Amino acid sequence: MTADTVVSGLLADIDEFLREHNPDTTDRLTFLRARFDAGLAWVQYPEGLGGRGLDSALQPVVDSAFASAGAPDNAPHRNVIGLGMAAPTISRFARDEDKRRWLRPLWTGEEIWCQLFSEPGAGSDLATVATKAVRDGDDWIVSGQKVWTSLAHEASWALLIARTDPTVPKHRGLSYFVCDMSAEGVDVRPLRQLTGEAEFNEVFLDNVRVPDAHRFGELGEGWKVTQSTLMNERVAIGAGLAPREGGPIGFLTRAWRDGAHSHNPALYDRVLELWIGAEAARLTTARLRQQMAAGLPGPEGSGAKLTYAKLAQQISSVEVDLAGHQGLRFDDYSARRPDLDQEAGRPPGYRFLRTKGNSIEGGTSEIMRNIIAERVLGLPAEPRVDVDVAWKDLPR
């Protein structure tokens, strides 16, 4: 079957689906559930799990056809961790019954996911996590503290790494679980950030019971699963699905066109330089998203994440400059949860402050440079003296 034949058949199926589920008259959630069941959610996934086992390159064709028909989307900005990190991890490591249980409400947005990885003493060196999991029959009893957990206050489920064996080196004593965020003993507390908002949280786990059936990978092999999630995370953050002039560069170009700045050649050159950089990054990361969709995220995602963080900060800085004295204004510094749909109405100062976190969240830019140096360029690794030391013997 030729590629053109596959596309024609796919578009015909979408037309038939839209005739049976008119987006103007069908309830949004009902529409999204039906789209998933028809295999038109993420076409690269297997049949029965929202897809058709097709090439991930066909996904933009599907999304464009639904958008042209005025169909509702699944608000991907509201479940970034679920769609970008949890879904590919579930698809690769979960049991078949759990895939069927989790993927549908994840894609429709009925269930939000978060990521219980970082801890106060384990950020960039994530393998040193101290949260412990102790076996109790068919369950694990988990206790510890996690930090910088985005969306924990809205999440139904969490990806969790915990230490199941403190007597072996740090990378070999971890196991990977899925935690029910409504379970007894889960305490979510807001953390206020530079913008004033409480976008993320610290999470305390006090004897939380997690079924062994919710473990991904073999016991003690949690680091292997974690690496898969982290590579998907870097692609999800640094290679987001955005149209041309979407994201930070869109705010800057609109400010340029709406203002009287054309008399300033230096600013013109700077805006053009950033536009070219953003467009080059957008086109480059399209391929990375295809790799991620195919379950093959690689270290290249670190380059995408590093580039995104640097560009976003440079762009927001120029946007503040264009605003002149108005760029110093800030509309609301109250401690509150962010409204993810309202960024377009925020002033340049908000984006200037928020982008400072881009070089920290999802792995610092320094760590991204280490990964690129070692895994992409093949440079000698930094000396590591603790890789063969039992975790319990490490100084903390």
Alpha carbons 111 and 108: distance in angstroms, whole number: 8
Check if 233 is active-site. Answer: yes
Catalytic pick among 111, 233, 300, 319? 233
Q: Give Cα separations from 36 to 11, 31, 42, 102 (angstroms).
A: 16, 9, 8, 12
What does the block give as tokens for 230? 């982290």
Closest by Cα among 367, 349, 249 to 306: 367
Q: Report the distance separating Cα 238 and Cα 86, nearest Å.
A: 16
Return the half-sphere exposure (C-beta side, CA atoms, 13 A cut-off) of residue 50: 26
d(CA 35, CA 200): 31
DSSP letters spanning 238-292: HT----TT-THHHHHHHHHHHTT-TT-HHHHHHHHHHHHHHHHHHHHHHHHHHHH
Instruction: Locate all alpha helices (DSSP H) within 69-202, ordered by sequence.
Output: 80-81, 87-93, 96-108
The span from the CA of 22 to the CA of 329, in Å, is 44
Report the catalytic residues: 233
